[in-house]
Amino acid sequence: MTNDINTKELAPVKARITKADKYAQELVIKTDDDQKKATIALSELNKIGDEVTRRKEEVTKPLNVALKSVRDLFKPLEAGHKEAIATIKTKLAQYHTAKLKAEAEAQAKITARLQKGTLKEETAARKLKEVAPVAKNIKTEEGAVQYRKVAVATITKEIKDLTDAQILAHAKAGYLKWDETAAKKAAIAVGKEGEVLAGVEVKIETQVANIR
């Protein structure tokens, strides 16, 4: 269907756009008549744009509806799958952490007795070897898991809670995103030309609005 539209139905539209583009490139406006002809051409181009949009939506709207339907169908499955994996991983990590803690406590007790002199060095060394090391890799016929230490960062403050110096430092380091759209909107709202906000300059320019 898409190929048919591209090669057949859109061919005349493409030809009209190509012709209009050539006209636009060669256009010279020196008289009021030239201005009128350019206005007519602009209106015609906007009508062509409407036609392009209409034909595009004839193809994309059904596809978007179908895509949304498929995503809605699989969303609960994907969510349940993700949740199950996260839950198992959390419990495995908790178990592994508990074993590491028990290992460290056992080793600490032996070392403490050695330092107090209630345990001979030979006995302490033997007992330390007897403490079962916590495995970092668990292998099965179906698969394996590997425990590893990973640094996890957590945001503990909102921007409003940071000092000006901290905000400036983050901005210079590139951690804060400069919202250009909001800054431009705020600058225009001032209602005058010039650098009305730091780093934002407003100029009043002539734009053309076509009514069709």
Among the listed residues 149, 139, 134, the one whose alpha carbon sits nearest the alpha carbon of residue 99: 134
Q: How far does Cα 161 stand from its chain's mean position?
A: 25
Rounded to an integer, the average pLDDT of 30-34 is 96
Tokens 């009305």 belong to residue: 196
Locate 84 and state its tokens: 């199950």
- pLDDT-derived band at 10 (thresholds 50, 70, 90) equals confident
Q: pLDDT of 149-175, one tens digit each?
A: 999 999 999 999 999 999 999 999 999
3-state secondary structure of 211: coil
Q: How far is CA 205 from the centre of its chain?
A: 34
Structural domain boundaries in the chain = 2-146, 159-202
pLDDT for position 211:
84
With H, G, I as helix, E, B as strand and everything else as coil, classify residue 172. helix
Rounded mean pLDDT of 47-51? 92
Average pLDDT estimate for 79-87:
97
User: What's the CA gap between 1 and 7, in Å, rounded?
Assistant: 10
Q: What is the pLDDT of residues 192-212, one digit of tens each?
A: 999 999 999 999 999 998 887
